[in-house]
Amino acid sequence: MIIERAAGLFNSLGYYRASLSDLMQATGLEKGGIYNHFSSKDELAIAAFEHAVSLAGARLLSTVKKEEDSFKKLIAFIEGFESLATEPVLPGGCPLLNCAIENDDGNPLLREKVRVALVKLLAFAEDLIGSAQEKGELNDSVIAKELAVFIISSLEGAMMLSRLYQSSDSMKVVAENLKSHLQSLKS
Amino acid sequence: MIIERAAGLFNSLGYYRASLSDLMQATGLEKGGIYNHFSSKDELAIAAFEHAVSLAGARLLSTVKKEEDSFKKLIAFIEGFESLATEPVLPGGCPLLNCAIENDDGNPLLREKVRVALVKLLAFAEDLIGSAQEKGELNDSVIAKELAVFIISSLEGAMMLSRLYQSSDSMKVVAENLKSHLQSLKS
């Protein structure tokens, strides 16, 4: 419960902006209560970030798992990501994008965590692409790793636009464009 | 000079994290010297953001202007954006992306400025797409506004990955994928 509430707060305000008093208000705990569970703001921020990522990851995984075919799993991955804009798992947008932008020049512990999480996300997409190729559902000339970078970049950029304009239109447009692009790569 | 130095600082650290003493150090001015020119941190942040956006915009415009044909101008737009990752105009990455992520839940003045700037960038890309269609260089079935959203989203997401991993590989991959995608849309 502490982690869940802290995750929404950090994801909305950012790591630097979320103060101890913001955290006390969000969790309903006194300072001592927070430091009883976490030795520092960094430790709480890392636990909160990992919780946020696991929520988003679980959404993606459950969407992908509903499909049997490899190509359909890849389409479901895009739709699962789209659903994170239309029905967010926590306030504040994509935790990977938020944490990456804030900490590329910021907290080295959080930067390392977001690097690892994004590598996992890219590998997950790459595996889906590779499986679709193995099943003969996607053109062999596609470089799985590069297509994964293209898909994740487009979806993260769409998340930025959707959050900024408080409308999921950009995410819908990007998801549709990606799906057409994948259709054009079918073998 | 004050604005230029403040622009690099705000773009690297973010609006909330950049303190008055950071600003004094970056600009070489005392507190009074800064407030002589700007009535508040907000006013300086807005001037710095607009300076950062104008630097990036000038790069894009000069790259696009080098080409005569509409389709080539669109390709040059992507290459100009790519150059902002490989040869940045100021420290800290893309000012639009940074300011959007920080202020979608943050400073309403900066949020409004970044909304306006992104609308202009989207309109610029849309115009290039529309011109290429008018000249018969791009398929009429393409919806210019939607393709513009797809292009900008992909490039901004690539900027996030490139900054996070301190490598422009992701930007190169996304620029190449976008260029192939545009080739497939030629009429």
pLDDT tens digits, one per residue of A93-119: 999 999 999 999 999 999 999 999 999
Q: Cβ B104–A156 below 8 Å, yes or no?
A: no
Over residues B79-132, the pLDDT tens digits come to: 999 999 999 999 999 999 999 999 999 999 999 999 999 999 999 999 999 999
**Residue A187's pLDDT band (cuts 50, 70, 90):** confident
Q: How far is A39 from chain B (nearest CA, A)?
A: 22
How does the average pLDDT of chain A come out, rounded? 96
A173–B106 C-beta distance less than 8 A: no
Residue B16 pLDDT greater than 90, yes or no: yes
CA distance B125 to B6: 29
**Which pLDDT does position B44 carry in this prediction?**
95
For residue A1, the model assigns a pLDDT of 82
Give the pLDDT of residue A157: 98
Q: Which of B99, B95, B101, B87 is nearest to B168 (CA)?
A: B87
Nearest Cα neighbor of A106 from A117, A95, A98 is: A98
Flag whether pLDDT at A69 surpasses 90. Answer: yes
Q: Residue range A52-56: average pLDDT?
A: 98
Confidence category of residue B78, pLDDT binned at 50, 70, 90: very high
- Predicted local confidence at residue B99, as pLDDT: 97
Distance CA(A164)–CA(B118), nearest Å, equals 10
Residues of chain A with C-beta less than 8 angstroms from the C-beta of B102:
14, 101-102
Residue range B125-141: average pLDDT?
97
Cβ of residue B142 closer than 8 Å to a chain A Cβ: no
Contact residues for A66 (Cβ-Cβ < 8 A; gap 6+): A76
By the 8 A CB rule, do B156 and B118 touch?
Answer: no
* Residue from B173, B109, B122, B113 nearest B150 by CA: B122
DSSP secondary structure of A18-35: --HHHHHHHHT--HHHHH
- CB B161 to CB A105 under 8 A? no
User: How far is CA B68 from each of CA A47, B57, B73, B184, rounded to the nearest angstrom?
Assistant: 53, 19, 7, 21
Say yes or no to pLDDT of A165 above 90.
yes
C-beta atoms of A102 and B14 within 8 A: yes
pLDDT average, residue stretch A50-56: 98
- Tell me the pTM: 0.97
Question: B163 and chain A: CB distance < 8 Å anywhere?
Answer: yes
Determine, for residues B174 and A13 on separate chains, whether the beta-carbon distance falls below 8 Å: no
pLDDT averaged over every residue in chain B? 96
Are A158 and B149 a contacting pair at CB < 8 A? yes
**What's residue B162's pLDDT?**
98
Preferred mutation among B105, B143, B186 to probe A, highest tally of A CBs within 10 A: B105
Rounded Cα distance between A152 and B157, Å, is 7
Q: Least CA distance to A13: which residue of chain B?
A: B105
Task: Kindly indicate the confidence band of residue A162, based on its pLDDT and cuts at 50, 70 and 90.
Answer: very high
Mean local confidence (pLDDT), A22-46: 93
A147 touches chain B (CB under 8 A): yes
Chain B residues 83-122 with a CB less than 8 Å from chain A: 92-93, 97-98, 100-102, 104-106, 111, 114-115, 118
- Residue found under tokens 């001037």: B47
- Compute the nearest-CA separation of B52 from chain A (Å): 16
